Amino acid sequence: MRIELLVSTLLMLTSLGSAQEKIYRAARSVHLGYPAADSEWFYNEVVVEQSVNGSYFMACGWSTGYFGIQQLDRPDDKVVIFSVWDPTTGDDPKSVQPEDRVELLAQGEGVRIRRFGGEGTGGQCMAPLAWKIGETNRFLLRGEVQDRKTAYTAWVFRNDTRQWWKLATFRTRTGGQPLKGYYSFIEDFRRDGQSVHDVRRARFGHGWIRPAGGKWLALAQARFTASNAEWESKENIDAGAADGWFYLATGGDTKRTRELRSLIALPAKLAPPPVDLPVAADPSWR
């Protein structure tokens, strides 16, 4: 009887342990928030070190949108994505009145434009981009104040053609605010209960902002934060700095080495601001 009771107890504990593991549907979203002044330009770079299907490596996030790269349903199904939110609440894009919707002012060649919902609503630009593990991906965003609205233009550098690609310009009502609230993140959007066991890791760095008419200012500090969704795993996350870059990691066997909300600083001596941007030839740029 004692042996049977012991076996029964062990089976119950094993069952409870397995059930507890299945609680988490996804790896936890992890973020870097860059404290910096309001600006007109935001430049950042990302090097993906580990990726799996259903991964978003977001480079340039700000108060009304985000811009980065994703791996979708296959290792070779990769895209660049640029989204701007409507100035309204709710998740149904069809319920937003026409006058409140993000406006499309310009559309680059080879991109797809659509409305999105589910996590707020707004305008989205997506295009195929064959980014690679270990390769530097470069992003440039402009936020041009136009009366009570702001027009956001996104460029991504294509490593295959060695040229900047203008993706789109979206305009939305902001009350006349410039770019602000800068951040980057890694997200697991597969959320199938297995993706929590996969590692996603990337370096973020060489980031800069430029106020209108001002000089480039380096993004040399970042605050480590993470989402609080109950269905995301909690402890297998990490962030830090190495070799002049910030890094983020989530999922799998990732071990946390620093506290959430901690501030990460890069060395005082950083690489100079970029000089080959698509707008650098404009005399007003200097």
Confidence (pLDDT) at 1: 43
Buried b (16+ CB within 10 A) or exposed e, 41-67: bbbbbbbbbbbbbbbbbbbbbbbbbbb
Spatial CB neighbours of 88, under 8 Å, sequence gap ≥ 6? 96, 100, 121
Q: Are 139 and 60 in contact (CB under 8 A)?
A: yes
Phi/psi region, residue 244 (left: phi>0; alpha: psi -120 to 50; beta: rest), is left
Helix (H, G, I), strand (E, B) or coil at 229: coil
Separation CA 279–CA 30 (nearest Å): 32
Spatial CB neighbours of 97, under 8 Å, sequence gap ≥ 6? none
Separation CA 153–CA 177 (nearest Å): 15
Which of the 8 DSSP states describes residue 179? B
Tens digit of pLDDT at every position of the chain (286 positions):
454 544 454 444 444 444 444 589 999 999 999 999 999 999 999 999 999 999 999 999 999 999 999 999 999 999 999 999 999 999 999 999 999 999 999 999 999 999 999 999 999 999 999 999 999 999 999 999 999 999 999 999 999 999 999 999 999 999 999 999 999 999 999 999 999 999 999 999 999 999 998 999 999 999 999 999 999 999 999 999 999 999 999 999 999 999 999 999 998 777 888 899 998 655 555 4
Separation CA 9–CA 198 (nearest Å): 31
- Domains of the chain, by residue range, sit at 36-285
End-to-end CA, the chain: 85
Spatial CB neighbours of 142, under 8 Å, sequence gap ≥ 6? 40, 41, 42, 151, 152, 153, 279
Separation CA 185–CA 225 (nearest Å): 9
Spatial CB neighbours of 55, under 8 Å, sequence gap ≥ 6? 70, 71, 186, 187, 188, 189, 190, 200
Q: Which of 224, 260, 216 is nearest to 241 (CA)?
A: 224
